[in-house]
Structure 1
Amino acid sequence: MANDSAQGDPGVRLVGGFGGGAVGFGQPPRGRGWGIVAVAILVAVALVVSLAKPAEAADGDQAPTEFTVSFAIPENVDLPKLRGVVAELNSRHALLSDTLYEEQDRFAPVDLEPDVDTFTVQHDFDGAFAVTGSTLSLTVDPTNAVQITELTGWQWFLIYIGSFAVALLARILCEGFFGVATAGPGTILAAAFCAALGNFISTFIPQAVRVVDEGHQHDGGAWGWAVGIAAVASFFGVVWEGWAAGFARGGLITDLRKMGQALANWGRSLTGWASSASPAAVDTGIALEENAEAIGEGVASALEDSASETAAELRVLPLGDSITYGVGTPDNSSYRARLAQLLGGVGGPVNFVGSQRTGQLADQDNEGHPGWTISQIHSIASCTMREYRPNVVLLHIGTNDMARNVSVASAPERLRSLIRQIVNTAPETTVLVSTLIPSTTPATMNRIQQYNAAIPGIVADFQKAGRPVRLVDMGAVTPGDMTDSLHPNANGFRKMAEAFHRTIDGVVRRDVFLRARNGVAGACGDLPTGGGGGTTGAVDPSGTGQDGWKWEGTIASGVGATREEVRFADLNGDGRDDYLVVSPQGQVRAWVNNRSSGSTSWTSLGTVASGSAPREEVRFADVNGDGRDDYLAVGAQGQVRAWFNAGTGNSVSWASQGEIAGSVGTTREEVRFADINGDGRDDYLAVNTQGQVRAWMNVRGPGGTGWSYQGVVASGVGATRDEVRFTDLDGDSRDDYLVVGAQGQVRAWLNAIGATGAESWLVQGEIAAGVGVSRENVEFADIDGGGSSDYLAVNSTGQVSAWLNEQFAQNDRWDRQGVVASGTGVPPEELRFADLNGDRKEDYLAVGPQGAVKAWLRVSGGWNYVGQVASGAGPREEVRFADLNGDGRDDYLLVGAQGQVKLWLNVAGGSAGISFQSKGDVATGSGARDTVRFADINGDGRDDYLVVGAQGQVQGWLNTAGGSSGVSWQSAGEIAAGIGLPGSMITFADLDGDSRDDYLSVNEHGRIWAWLNNRGGGGSTWLAQGEIATGVGATRNQVLLADLTGDRRFDYLVSSATGVVTAWTGTGIVRKG
């Protein structure tokens, strides 16, 4: 729009100035500050009146397709800051209207009577702000979003966008005047005041136009009401040491009269097309002048009303993890109990809020979530703020990120994002951001110090932007104030309370806590709530301090069995422990764990064992390492009889092994079974009354089960035998040493036996604070198949509650790539992978019934079909691919019934660059076809000839250059003694990328155990890695191991019935030792 300038001035200029006065240090300027406010209001009213009246004059015209509001920017506006604000507004949402409405909602009117008719505009539209030279413009394009058919609708729409643009300029002017960018004393108040001022203007302008439009321009009460609405909308709780209301009754009245005079004079100067706006501008100016006193009183009253409620209530949200919850002291009161006492003197009530209920204090509400990280708290921040609308947030978060080494470098940015989420959702909230208390674990403490160093800068950045964010320094809490490695004792919590109180008290003294607003009940839905628990029932983790354990709730409702009857063991070998009920006579009923998509369900198998010993003798352990737990009976003197689990699929059958271990001078009560060395086979342990452990390692091989005495492997930690448990906490296949306290709390020592340069047991301190059940009700089992044991509570009726193990973050060996081949209709028996072109990436092959081969070569981003590359020389079951001449290209082999081998060398040629040259017979055969494997054992680039025996033992012939075919063989004898598992489970592939293939065992569920090839490396020839792949729900027949990336490490592939391939690429992670 334009004004009356003959030069066509593009907008309304901010001219003149009202008031004056000195600026105090750390205190807002008085007269001149409100002078700027007066100028901004004057210009704003002029702008919207001239928007509205020409629209009326244009009655009958078509609604415009685009409209631009442009006006000059005053010289004292901080242009870089204005450009930054404009850029942020333009990019925040897809539609500009969403951004403007969000800004409007941040300071929406509060506690107005329901029948108050306030001005609102709610249309979707797009557009953009722009700063060009010294002009600010706002262009909107409403044709596709705003359906306004009447010009009166356009009038109010343009009033809305014009008001927002002027308010934006006024806010930047205000911040520049108060020196917000310098971050000096009073910065937070100044910026908060300026933000409120902007909203005051954008709210007041339409109300002022409505007053004139409805003919009430000479009604002081109407003007007072309009200003009061705007003030309540914007200045609720923003009172600066009481000066604002006093000034509203003094200097503001004078400024308003000057505004009125200027506006009336401006209206009288309008000519030409804009002259229709003259009467409204003159009338509005006269009304402002006549009613200045009433308007000033309206502003003062509104400010006083809001100020009277500023500190009427502190609604406090303690937000964080188990430290906020209260883990570390028996009463779970955290710092909250002492803080409540200290806050009793602030002059008003204190109300803690949150979804959790813990501690021995009158108000138990809090939002402490044991085990949660910054990102997890961020996930509920928005709904939590909407639900409770606190005016104070006490934020102590990040301990679990540091303890688990979760992306420590980016943790400060996650904290920044969380704070931004809080203040954007509830701008009236003051966030007190605490530095983290210390850890007694050196590595964790180093990370905490790094994280803490970044927090003051984050807080300062928010303060510069005018956000009410304060720093709380927890430096007074020392390692001597800790119960364990992460949680404070009573003295530590006392120091935390005092630190929070000092900051709160400082804010209260300055009168800058904004009034808490009404929340939205149920905004977060059903979150876990705290509670008590007896010896037969568990409570959820919000009442337990279960850092690092994800609450799953009740996963089994019970089947009428007693606690003594319930056991957990993996009967079908899928990596998930099943629910068993063992009768007094040793009879076993089983329910298979069918967990899928984060939900646990069970399928009854009925009776799976008729019973071979009394219940007190029955144990379940995997003795032969096939992934299925076996049925054992332990005699009074520690002797062991075994029935191996010989089932397939979900069926269970038993093969008697007789006595597999004689007495070694122990009693039944001393005997435990656990995998100490991580080879997939449970070892025989004897635990004495003081928790000392002697071990006999399971050395089962082709000759049957055997044991190797290792002596004392754990000297004890002062716990009794009844307290000691063994289970794999960290997923490295080695069972760890646990001590379970009377109330279910758990201390742990991680098993590092055999790890290079490490102690045998690594102390972890308390890893679970208990869940309100006794020791006898605590079980450990792998419920989700993740490879690490979860925490279970079993009550007297066999009902099971579960906490999934998230305590020990493990670097994953596999990166899921999703579907990498969409399928060609090839069934699994036809699908092979081999490197045909020598680029180290294995190609997708389809082998027909007579051995013909079609190929899709692996290329960047997919596959290149090259058609048939081999016409076939024998039945598909005889076809193998291996590199026998070491040129990097896999050759075509036929393996006869007795292991004899015919070779076709892969040579460059043909349209695809692949052709095969016959070399005739290259091996006479040394075993049945199904026992023959080809793998590079010595890393020379030539695949060797291997024969796998019935118990997994391996005979090898090394491939050496020679003979007419270029291939000859040198016997290496037995290169692996075997692990006592069927040869059909054994295969070879390179896990770590050292060019030597490793020894793998793959069970029917696609789970893989590995032994690294250490031939020639000193020490053991094969180094146990334990379970390296837990399976993905596919059978062994669907699993293929091939290198798709060329990094020399095999990837885990799963093929569907039609040849669709999903891939997990190997990261090369191996276990030390």
Structure 2
Amino acid sequence: MVAGFGLGVFTLLGPVAAHPFSPNTAVLPDLGNHLSRRADPGDFYLRIMPLGASITAGDFSPSNEKNGYRKFTRDKLRSDGWDVNMVGNFNSGSMSDNDHEGVSGDRVDQVEDRARGSCRVWLPNVVLINAGTNDANQNFDVDRTGLRMQELINTIIAEVPDAVIVLSTLLPTNNQDAQARVNRINDQYRQVHREFVPVNEDGQEEPNPSIKVVLADMASFLTLDDIHDGIHPDVEGEKKMAAVWVWAINYANDKGWITEPTDSGKFDDDQPSRTCRKELGSGAFDYRSGRQVLYARAGEIKNDGTYIHSGIPRDDRAGDIPDVDDDGSMWFAQLVNRGNAHKLGEIDEMIVAKSDSSTSDNSPRKFTMFNGDGLDDFICIFANGEMHASLNEGGNPPTFRQLGLYKSPELGKGRDRVRLGDIDGDGRLDYCVMPDTGDVHCWRNGGLGAKAAYWQDLGSGGPVFTAKGMGDMRGVQFADKIAKHSGRYDWLWMSTTGRVTTWINQRGSGKGMVPSWLKAGNDGITHGGMGTDIGDNREHVRFGRLWDGRPSYIHWEIDDGHLKFDIWENRGRGGKYQKGDGIFWGDVTGSGFDDYVFIGPTGQVTVFPNVYDQSTSSDKYYRDDANAWGLPSATLDTGLSPRALHVGDWDGDGKADIIGVDRETGGVIVWYSNWDGNNFNWDRQDHRSTTNGWCTEGWGLLPGDHGAHFADVTGSKKVDYLCMKPDGTTTAWLRDFSDRPWRNVGQVKYTEDLDRANFRFADINGDGKADMVHTDKFTGNARVWYAIGERSDPENNAGSAMEWERPQLLFSGAARGENTFFPELSGQGRGDMVWIDPTSAHAWISFNSCAAGGDDGEETPADPGLPEYNPPDDPE
């Protein structure tokens, strides 16, 4: 026998018997013919939280709609005259109002873990509990399941004291042993119910208990004929469950227990839900997906032009080094970063040493950076094509640590066909070879550490560069950023007189990692050459970064023991900034739709307002050719690099602002949007004295490689300041408290060992909190970490003050990751997937739509025709 649970008493004293009620509580309540005297629906919303596991979620429903019992329940209540809002942190099923709090596989204790937070947010006035099936199936401490259920109910009541709890008994199962456990749990649940709502001596239930619980006795109504897989109900079983839920809600209403839900201030019950969990491939089911959203026809949308080279002779830097043997040679490399220069700001040292002149630029020895740390390393290419490396560990003079074999040969080609260069512009050296065709095949140096964690075929089986018919392959080189500060190595062919033809490496379009190659101006000729023989292997011309990070042209020769050299400083321009680099998004006008923000090569900001608002039919979104955007705003000259600029709502007024970040200190300048319907009236405010030192990560080489991110991860409607290290470890200053502007919470996301450049922050499920998104470099497939909220115990969360769901693959990419973004273009508060062509600045959309349905409150649904349910008498 079991002693009475007692409200707030959590000790079970023995196993549960078949009929656990003591003689003192065995008096039967007089339920009478309840349905014949049903009270009218209230003039307020039933804010219902369906709480449980897979039966609640509908995950295993045999119906394709996967609504489970929820739609039948809601349709019946609505047809009876109730206003209904289903609530919860999860969304599934075809019904529009598809919110719930059901997680497949959860036991009662796990349901309780979720219930506290979800009830605090959603404040339901009715909670439907169907939980415990997994306790029975897992044989998890079965005789204490009733105790755990009591704790669950007390947890709910602590957050919503006036809520009505509808406690369901468990459904039958076809497993004999599990059914015995189900029976024991159901007996416990009946006693839990009776402890909360006792029967008095005259046979009537307590009319006004402090905790209002109605027993929904499913076990007496559903049979195994209603169970399609041994555990989950079939469609008729779902209808039967709905009939029991509706009976229980009406029973509570008859007693006057159901009261108007508490106003949360965060949502309105009469507004259709905009929250839903993204499902992989869902964009393909929205007929609007694939529409073009950007056409780049405005004159303000421009790049920095074709690369035009200019080389200025620098006689003041010419040199004559004595006592050099005839087999000497020279190289240029940044071995010591004395000025703490950022990437692309390197200044090279000159290195003079002996060389095997027979192998020239393809010599065994090279100095170049292979791991992106800003210091050039030492590389030796063996005759068979193996790449061996020694890491520059810094110091002055530098020290080197031998790493051994760094890359195995490819395509069976030896040293004479190997070329090295940063093809994708991420700061790490890639390995390339040329077959007999002269095409170039390259493998990406992946990972974050000194050695490559993996190598990826940049051409996905094909070349990254097709031969141009220039002739002798010994003239092919990859030069370190001929175009100013691009970060990508350009393809050069040098003649035996030093004449150079250049194709500029730019970000490509579509899937894969093949660049877009742009022929330099002047028919590709960037360097006229020396007019004299520089060697079959072009060994007497080098490139060195001697001023601002761009490689200058150096000709050298040895004469009578003297190494003499002349330098032409690189003053070229253009070829760096593509139109697509300027595409930014943000709701600068406060319409609820992100506007198109174009930031030009010199930090000039132009806004094209989104013409849509909530009154526009969603069918019209981006349907008409280029008619989605209003006239461009007056240009805002920030004077900052485009890499320093971000878009986000700094002050929480509903309009996104322009945010500039100091690369060294992280200090912030904000241009506040004061959009009045015609003008932005930008208000510049310098917040650097407050924010200096908050993020010193700066930015990397790729367009998306930012240390500073601005996203509302707390739901405060103001952006938080996030600082991300190259490995993805993120710290934050949060802004969700009204009594102080900022609070430093330290780490909010531990590393996932993924490239920082492909991280984005966007609200994917529409809950008001920005989620973390990572796109695959090749395919654009995107994984999402849903933001859950702040943790009080970061020590139990890998040191992170915020909790995130484990990542889920939710977007099927349409283009490579660096061209994929997630602005809110449908006015629903959820990030849609947009992919761009960086050369043309055209863009297309896949809508992040919640599942459609017919019961969103616009029309009263038809009565679903539920079976008649009459509750059993209480057991004696």
Report the TM-score when normalising by structure 1. 0.25
Of Structure 1 and Structure 2, which has the larger fraction of its residues in helix? 1
Q: Which has the larger radius of gyration?
A: 1
Higher RCO (Cα < 8 Å, 6 or more apart): 2
